[in-house]
Amino acid sequence: MAKLRKKQPINKQEIIEAFTEMAKVKGIDKDLLQGIIEDTFSLLIKKKYGNQANFEIIVNMERGDVEIYLTKTVVEEVLDPETEISLEEANQSPDEQYEVGDDYAIAITLDSISESFGRRLITLATQSLTQRIKEIEKNNIFNEYAAKVGEVVIGEIYQIRKNDLLIMHNKIEMHMPREEQIPSESTRYRKNQAIKAVIKAVRKNGPSGLPEIVLSRSNEKFLERLFEIEIPEIYDGLIQIKAIARDPGRRSKVAVQSSDERVDPVGACVGMKGVRIHSIVRELSNENIDLIEYSEDPVIFIQRAMQPARVKEIQVFPAARSANIIVSEDQVPLAIGINGQNIRLASQLTGYSLTLIKEGVEDIDITEFKEEFGESLINKLLENNVKSAREFLDTDSGKLLEIEGLNKENIKELRSIILSEFDEEEDPEYIENLESKIE
């Protein structure tokens, strides 16, 4: 016949030490953990002895001790077993004699909990404790990283997936969606590779149940933070970054301004022999960076933003936040840039809608196309501040599709009519963007 193994008593100190170690690993305050432990044992007591039970739980984290006392009132006849004990039962112990109305304290040990409460209650308490700790861990992570949005972190790639990267930082999982990556880097990522990125957003409930921390390398804020790290004058506030426009991994324009007229903001950012700017360019996989000195004068600012193209004349319309850029024929390719990159970034940087006009070629009032467009559509364009042929060509395809009467097909047709008037060719990128739009 098999011998029964003697049940080992529960070591209270080991339990408290285990909880304390858990608090340290999860970053939970010891006093807060003590409260959770008290709540957990309260749940057990109430489940066993009822919600009206009068009890006291004393948790001493320093000594590693838990004391639980259940108090009942001594009565002649028990009407409420949860809160009362009969005089006869209370006086069964020879150590002390009680009278009616006295408080009768019962010490509940952890051993007795494990023996009398049953596996179901112990499991319930364990689940409650685990859930509370997870909630606190979740809130701690969220609060810590929500305060760090806009800061740069260095993590380690631990999983490369089709649409994002999973990155570990201080044992916290973060992810970088494909749209937040620099396109030219996607084929060069390796597992365990160190990677630098800015915290773009923190959402409380991620797919794993923990907060979702979104990183970015393509965001303008990442470039701004790199400038702060590499250029002391920016970190100290002597030089300000006024605006940034990015085509991640390809080209950026950064407008800077000095609060001290003796300091050249562009020169300070470039550094001796370009050492400062080159470290930023390397971090961004050789992204070209145009440094531009900011000006309150929109004409000067736009002129600088259009570099490397040399501009002949700029006609600014402040109320409409638009401007006509007049350049000589030989400067047109530079002004436009590859796939319209230069003028697009200049527009983003300055906040002005820029229309490029070749020197000697005048713009055409949109009403001149009434026969081709139809009077109704002309009126709709005028209502949406599209007053000239150039403005029609330079208006974002998404905005045109919002105008009643326009769709992808007639936009392409109308552009073809206007371009033929200017003897110009269609921009393939514009058509590609147009086709990608959902009407």
Does the pTM of the predicted model rise above 0.75? Answer: no
What is the domain partition of the chain in residue ranges?
Answer: 12-143, 149-218, 223-294
Q: How deeply is 290 buried, as exposed, middle or buried, from its count of CB atoms within 10 A (0-12, 13-18, 19+)? A: buried
Q: Does pLDDT of 10 surpass 70?
A: no
Helices (H), 255-317: 265-270, 275-283, 298-305
3-class secondary structure, 241? strand
Q: If residue 332 lies in a helix (H) or strand (E), which one and from where to where?
A: helix 332-336
pLDDT of 140-165, one tens digit each?
889 999 999 999 999 999 999 988 99
Question: pLDDT tens, 397-425?
Answer: 888 888 888 888 888 888 888 888 777 77
Domain 223-294 has CATH 3.30.300.20: yes
- Provide the pLDDT for residue 392: 87
8 Å CB contact between 38 and 54:
no
Q: Which residue has the higher pLDDT, 304 or 64?
A: 304
CATH topology of domain 149-218: OB fold (Dihydrolipoamide Acetyltransferase, E2P) (2.40.50)
Confidence tier at 59 by pLDDT (50, 70, 90): confident
What integer is the mean pLDDT of 60-67? 69
Residues 6+ apart with CB under 8 A from 381: 366, 373, 387, 392, 403
For the segment(s) 12-143, the CATH number from 3.30.70, 3.30.200, 1.10.3470, 3.30.1480 is 3.30.1480
User: 3-state DSSP call for residue 422?
Assistant: helix
Q: Classify 340 in phi/psi space as left (phi over 0), alpha (psi -120 to 50) or beta.
A: left
Percentage of residues in the chain with pLDDT exceeding 90?
35
